Amino acid sequence: MSLSKSKYSELIKTEAKRLGFLSCGISKAEFLEEEAPRLEKWLNNNMHGEMKYMENHFDKRLDPTKLVEGSKSVISLIYNYYSCDLQEDPEAPKISKYTYGTDYHFVLKDKLKHLLSFINDEIGEVHGRAFVDSAPVLDKAWAVKGGLGWMGKHTNVLTQKAGSFYFIAELIVDLDLDYDHPVTDHCGDCTACIDACPTEAITEPYVVDGSKCISYFTIELKDSLPPDYSGKFDNWMFGCDVCQDVCPWNRFSKSHREPLFNPHPELLSMTKNDWQEITKDVFNELFRKSAVKRTKFEGLKRNISFLSS
């Protein structure tokens, strides 16, 4: 099939929408010049804490052509996970909305494989790889470059129509396409996220010290939780949504339409007491396919105990 780059791009975006993605933006696969000094400074300041994997593959993080040989385009996609559902007991330890249902890695990887297969069927032989937050790819930088939103002061990507409660994924392909342009920053003078962060992890606008973030403590940190932070977790036992919950742009968030992201029937009705007495069997049943499995039963128990210490 012989079509122009713009036709190819339109085909891809139409199929992405059919697969349920909120939007799709395309950028040239090239070295991320602006991100290089930022990433280097962030690492040098030890803002990655114990996330030593962030020090690996520095060049690949900044240059997709080193990750996927011959790549020409980065197709960035966002997928809504916002839920109006809340945990019923206001005193129960809290989990991030993104973990309510099936682990997003599986859900999105499946959709990306469909999209890549579609590209091969409709356009011809295209080589590429799918990425869902599991490889040295700077997802947010590519989403911004592809015009899907701007980088908020909390370092989540924001859009005027849908806020920030969505996952970001990419296809990096060896196909020339039409490239989108970044959009304007609409954070203005707002400092809601900075003011609300319980651990003051947003050290300045657009900079998050990962080693102070509640999500880091409750998910990434494998050692004991630091006593200095006792009483500062705002009752979060896995992840944290504070900076997104207070963001004015998230008043435009609408509930997702992905059945796989719906919570386990018993998850939201768990009381504070239920969580404190949770057994391994209940943990396995509740989070059988959830991203919460990452912290393991012992990790979640550690987090719950810390909240009441």
User: What's the CATH number where 22 sits?
Assistant: 3.40.109
The answer, yes or no, to whether residue 3 has pLDDT greater than 80, is no
Domain span at 125: 5-84+102-173
**Assigned domain for 111 exists:** yes
The answer, yes or no, to whether residue 250 has pLDDT greater than 50, is yes
Could you report the per-residue pLDDT of 100-158, keeping only the tens digit for each?
A: 999 999 999 999 999 999 999 999 999 999 999 878 999 999 999 999 999 999 999 99
**Assigned domain for 162 exists:** yes
Total of domains in the chain: 1
Could you report the per-residue pLDDT of 44-56, keeping only the tens digit for each?
A: 999 999 999 999 9
Residues assigned a catalytic role: 133
**Assigned domain for 208 exists:** no
The answer, yes or no, to whether residue 1 has pLDDT greater than 80, is no
Q: How far apart are CA 142 and CA 242, in angstroms?
A: 24
| Chain centroid offset of residue 143 CA | 11
The share of the chain scoring above pLDDT 90, in percent, equals 97
Q: How far apart are CA 100 and CA 245, in angstroms?
A: 16
Non-local CB neighbours of 82 within 8 Å, separated by 6+ positions:
97, 162, 163, 165, 166, 250, 253, 254, 255, 256
The share of the chain scoring above pLDDT 70, in percent, equals 99
97 within 8 A of 120, measured Cβ to Cβ: no
Q: Residues for the chain: how many in total?
A: 309
Average pLDDT over residues 181-187: 98
**Assigned domain for 264 exists:** no
**Assigned domain for 140 exists:** yes
166 within 8 A of 258, measured Cβ to Cβ: no
**Assigned domain for 132 exists:** yes
Confidence of residue 184 (pLDDT cuts 50, 70, 90): very high
**Assigned domain for 296 exists:** no
Average pLDDT over residues 6-22: 97
**pTM for this prediction:** 0.95
